[in-house]
Amino acid sequence: MPETIVVLFDNGMASQNQDYLPSRLIVQKETVESLISRKFEDNQENTIGIIPLVQTQSNDIITPTKQRPYIKTFLNEIKLSRNVDIMGCLSQSLHIFNQKDSPGCMLVIFLGSEPPETEKDELFARLYQLLTFGIMIKMVFFGEAIEMAEAYKKIDFTNFSCIEVKPSEEFADRVLSFINGDEHLEEDDPELAEAIRLSLEEQKKQQK
C-alpha cells in the first residue's frame, strides 16, 4: 500500500545553531532528502509533503505529491525564520490527512526547540487527536527539545514513537533508521544493518 508522509520541518531561528554540524537546518535537509529517496525507492506511488514550522507566507507548504523534483526544490528553498507555529502546522497536517485513508499515513515531526509553556498541553492534545485518527507519528527531538522527550515517551499509542538525537550522534543515520523501522536490526541482523548503512552513505554521495 502506498504511504502518505508529511514532514514537519523545524526552520525556526534555533536551527542556525551549529551544534549539529554543519548546522541544524542542513542536517534536517540532508535527512529529509535521503528520506525522500528511500521512500520513492520503496514505492513510486508514495507521496511526500513538507510543512515548515515557520511559514513567512500563509500556507507556504507542499502537500503530499509524487513529484519528486517539486519536493526537493521546496526543501532546498526552506529558510530560517522567526515565530514557530507548531499548532498551526499540526492543523495543516490534520487537514491533509482528513482527505486520506489513515492506513499508510505518517507524520514525521522534527523539533529542535521547546514550544512556549502555554502551548505544551495543547501540543499533547493535538497529537492525541491525530493519533486517534490512526495516523502514525514519529517525533525527532534534538537541540533544546531533547528536554521534552521523556514526557513524550509515555504516550501509550502503538502508532506513536519518538527518539532524541544528540549532537554527538550521526543525525541522518539515526533518524532514517528510526523512521524506516531499522532500529532493532543491529542486534537482530547486523549484516542487513550494515548493508542499510552503506546504502544510506551511497545516497548521500549521490546527492552531493
The structural domains of the chain, with segments of one domain joined by +, span 4-182
Report how far residue 85's alpha carbon sits from residue 143's, in angstroms, rounded to the nearest whole number: 17
What's domain 4-182's architecture? 3-Layer(aba) Sandwich (3.40)
Q: How much is the pLDDT for 185?
A: 44
Q: How much is the pLDDT for 183?
A: 55
Q: How much is the pLDDT for 118?
A: 84
Q: How much is the pLDDT for 32?
A: 98
What confidence tens digit (pLDDT) does each residue in 26-64 have?
999 999 999 999 999 999 999 999 999 999 998 999 999
Query: Which 3 state secondary structure label does DSSP give 40?
Result: helix
Report how far residue 196's alpha carbon sits from residue 190's, in angstroms, rounded to the nearest whole number: 10
Provide the H-helix boundaries in 14-148. 24-42, 68-77, 86-98, 117-132
Point out the residues of the chain with pLDDT beneath 70.
102, 182-208
Q: How much is the pLDDT for 1?
A: 84
Q: How much is the pLDDT for 191?
A: 62
Q: How much is the pLDDT for 189?
A: 53
Amino acid at 69: P
